[in-house]
Amino acid sequence: MKFNPSKIVCIGLNYRAHLGEMNEKLPEHPIMFLKPPTAVIGDGDGIIYPEMTSELHYEAELAIVIKDRTKDVPAEMAYDHILGYTCANDITARDLQRADGQWTRAKSFDTFCPLGPELVTGIDPEHLEIKLFLNGKLMQHSNTEKLIFKPAFLVSFISRVMTILPGDIILTGTPSGVGPMQKGDTVVVEIEKVGRLTNRVT
């Protein structure tokens, strides 16, 4: 399936174990940043390793796909505005993230938002096993029940900041176990009831 969001709204530091490995404190509210739509690629597409970085990281995430124009929605009504879910890989140039102190450059290169393989509906997003494999080796393994800020809260919170449009994507955060990829590596994001997203670093 091809995804065409007007924007990708991302949530950082949303698993407690990931906070520890990043030496960060528990956030009082969701930490938001954006990826441009030009970062989106699909299942089977190549992740380009930019010359500007020497530390390219994977981050497995559950992605929310928005159904309709969403603004100032209470959390108890948030699921009415969710079209479905897919797998995501929030590719990050970790050295640039550290150097800049904010995350736009590190997260926004072309091909830095693999999504897919399909849009899945009718599932409970709060109890899904999430894994990432690098060249067949399990690197990340958690469950969305460990999210600090749950999907419904995230949709509501974001909608009070900005209008979310049909087809927009929300990335819900990554668990612990993030790490580097090299050219030629194959990375797979696997989420229970959602599918397997496979990409190769080129």
- CATH number of the structural domain spanning residue 169: 3.90.850.10
Whether residue 74 is contained in a domain is answered as yes
Burial classification of residue 122, based on how many CB atoms lie within 10 Å of its CB (0-12 exposed, 13-18 middle, 19 or more buried): exposed
Whether residue 2 is contained in a domain is answered as no
Query: pLDDT tens-digit profile of 113-130?
Result: 999 999 999 999 999 999
Whether residue 181 is contained in a domain is answered as yes
Whether residue 1 is contained in a domain is answered as no
Query: pLDDT tens-digit profile of 61-86?
Result: 999 999 999 999 999 999 999 999 99
Which domain does 44 fall in, by range?
Answer: 8-201
Q: What local confidence, expressed as pLDDT, does residue 25 receive?
A: 81
Helix (H) or strand (E) holding 110: none
Whether residue 36 is contained in a domain is answered as yes
* Stated pTM of the model: 0.96
In the chain, where do the E strands start and end? 8-12, 31-35, 40-41, 46-47, 56-58, 60-66, 82-89, 92-93, 113-120, 129-134, 137-143, 169-171, 179-181, 186-191, 195-201
Q: What local confidence, expressed as pLDDT, does residue 19 receive?
A: 73
Q: What local confidence, expressed as pLDDT, does residue 20 receive?
A: 73
Q: Read off the tokens for 8.
A: 């990708």
Alpha-carbon distance of 93 to 23, in angstroms, equals 18
Alpha-carbon distance of 173 to 30, in angstroms, equals 10
Whether residue 118 is contained in a domain is answered as yes
Q: Read off the tokens for 63.
A: 């992605």
Q: Is the pLDDT of residue 55 over 90?
A: yes
Domain count, the chain: 1
Whether residue 3 is contained in a domain is answered as no
Alpha-carbon distance of 169 to 14, in angstroms, equals 16
